[in-house]
């Protein structure tokens, strides 16, 4: 499946940089808070951080994806 995608974006698909970036952000944000009173408060905190991250990067076009947009859209139509 990986090789069905255009060569220009394979490195971006294969990379986990965006996931690692989000995980590092969560670690930085939770470090000052040594304990959460309940599991629900931790879930809420992570949810808010995920929504903030998505809002911040929603319109970002990842490396080379703009050039192959039409090709990618044809895969999922």
pLDDT per residue of the chain (77 residues) written in tens, 0 to 9:
778 888 887 877 777 777 888 899 888 888 877 688 888 988 998 899 999 988 887 777 777 777 888 888 888 87
CA atoms of 11 and 28, how far apart (whole Å): 27
CB 68 within 8 A of CB 9: yes
pTM (2 decimals)?
0.58
In contact, 66 and 6? CB cutoff 8 Å? no
């Amino acid at each position: 499946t990986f090789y069905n995608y255009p060569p220009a974006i394979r490195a971006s698909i294969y990379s986990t940089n965006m996931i690692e970036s989000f995980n590092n952000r969560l670690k930085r944000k939770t470090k000052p808070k040594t304990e959460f009173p309940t599991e629900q408060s931790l879930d809420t905190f992570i949810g808010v951080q995920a929504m903030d991250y998505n809002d911040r990067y929603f319109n970002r076009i990842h490396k080379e994806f703009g050039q192959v947009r039409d090709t990618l859209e044809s895969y999922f139509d």
